[in-house]
Amino acid sequence: MKRWMKRIGIICLIPVVLVILISILLYIPPFQNFAVRLATEYASETTGMNIGIGQIRLSFPLNLTVRDVKVITPPDTLLSLESFQVNIRPLPLLKKEVLVDAIDLRGMKANTGNLIEGMEIKGTLGKLYAKADRIDLGKEIARLNKIDLSDTAITLLINDTTTNKDTTSTTVGWKLKLDQIDLNRVAFAMQMPDDSLRLSTYIDKAGLTDGMVDLGSARYSASRFLLSGSSLSYDGSYSDPTPGFDPSHIALNDVNIRIDSLLYGGRDISARIKKFSANDRSGLTLSSLTGDISSDSTTIQVPELLLKTPYSEIRLLATVPWNSFDDTPSSTLRSLLTASVGKEDVFIFTGPLPKEFKQAYPQKEISLTAGIGTNHTSGSDFTFGEQVKNGWNNSIGLSISVPIFNNRQTNSAVEKAKLQYQTSQLTLLDEQKTLYKTIEGLWLDANSAQQRYAAAVEKLRSTQTSYELISEQFNAGMKNTVELLTEKNNLLQAQQELLQSKYMAILNTQLLKFYQGDELTGLTAENKNI
């Protein structure tokens, strides 16, 4: 009997020993390489793809590292991966809980090609790091401490050619607690060729804190969402964008957003917009958008929503009951819109206009005030539209001030400006004629001064010769003192006339150069020899 009990014990221990042995072998690199080779060969034969794994390492307790993964369907490479690492705590697995210290994925490239009917996904993922505090598979609850995604570009191509539609639905009740999500240099593009729809976005930096995703109740929340230095483009057709603002071609750049207390769950909505700014391709600049939006099961509240551009300002206050959209509304609706729209923004939305109209359009802003108020009759069978039509306890007001026709003041100002311009042109012509006359006179004076100087030089030369002759005759006794003094006075007068003509010639020359635009100079060697 003891012998049989011993044999039965040995037989029962064999599976346990095998499990322990296999578990030990999984941590031995040669056995790991052998298992990888068998797994890749089996997967390649089963799927018809070329599947290659460079290395798999499992270290104690459950730290898995996979490197150099390639999935190829000639001639396309469906997937390539530089490295994937995951660290899992083993003991919580017995409770259907997964405790993940970290997930690190780097250098992934994907191209689904024709693998998915009607859809193609391709792109690169530079880095994905995630750390999870707890993942409960039984309760479908997960808490992710940190998600970091960077250097990623994904393109989604969708064709409406899917023939088989799966109408079955699977209930997903997962609840995800997201402590921190960071995105850096992430690009996403989507294109629907059949609908000519193209959507692309680039996120330079984005962050989300204290997020909650409840897939079962479709409820999403976050304490803060930040976005900076990003861009967004939307094209609804293949045609070229029209001048001005084109809703079919929107291209926003330098997008900056900050939203606090973000919540969406059916009619439960809240958002505190702290910052929203962007620039559109049309030239429209959204300087800021601030305000609060909240909603509960009964009412949508907009205490204040303020939109600013460099030239305009729009303010909205509203209280909208949800039953206002029903066939038989019974609550009070209040809304007030005030706006001041500048000339520059008006031209962006109006598109091409005649040049004359733009020049005549005044600089004063368009002032707009619009409001609606309702006090529906409770228990009435009339719809909202019928009550407004019949004028039962409803009020709608609209006032707009467009500074286009202001008692012909604008036209008068334009005509006055034209007359002033013509007067200025005539004044300019008169001044030009006066200037031409002045320059002509200076030229004549300069020419005359040059001639007088030349005559003075010749007169001085002849007078000098005459004085020398009289002086020799006086020494010989042929001339008296009176004749000598007279001739000396003539010489002194000739010298004086030479100096006067010389400096008058210099003065007229310098004035002529001044009116020619040349810089005035001092007495130069050239002037000295005049």
Give me the pLDDT at residue 198, please.
85
Beta strands 76-89 and 97-111: pairing type? antiparallel
pLDDT < 70 stretches in the chain: 1-36, 39, 42-43, 47, 58-62, 89-100, 137-138, 160-172, 193-195, 327-331, 359-365, 372-411, 517-530
CB 141, CB 96: distance < 8 Å: no
Give me the pLDDT at residue 485, please.
86
Classify domain 416-528 by CATH number: 1.20.58
The dihedral region occupied by 107, where left means phi > 0, alpha psi between -120 and 50, and beta the remainder, is: left
CB 467, CB 485: distance < 8 Å: no
Where exactly are the structural domains of the chain? 26-160, 196-297, 308-404, 416-528
Give me the pLDDT at residue 392, please.
43
CA 367/CA 403 separation, integer angstroms: 9
Query: Which string of DSSP letters, residue by residue, matches 320-340?
Result: EEGGGGSSS--SEEEEEEEEE
Give me the pLDDT at residue 11, please.
53
CB 347, CB 358: distance < 8 Å: yes
In this prediction the pTM is 0.61
Q: Could you tell me which of 307, 207, 319 has the C-alpha nearest to residue 262? A: 207
CA 310/CA 217 separation, integer angstroms: 42
Give me the pLDDT at residue 208, please.
94
Question: Which residue is it, tokens 């750049």?
Answer: 253
CA 34/CA 42 separation, integer angstroms: 12
Instruction: Tell me whether the omega of the peptide bond preceding residue 75 falls within 30 degrees of 0, making it cis.
Output: yes
Structure tokens at 36: 């990888």
Q: CA dist 156 to 57, 73, 153, 205, 399, Å?
A: 33, 20, 10, 21, 47
CB 230, CB 206: distance < 8 Å: yes
Give me the pLDDT at residue 181, please.
93
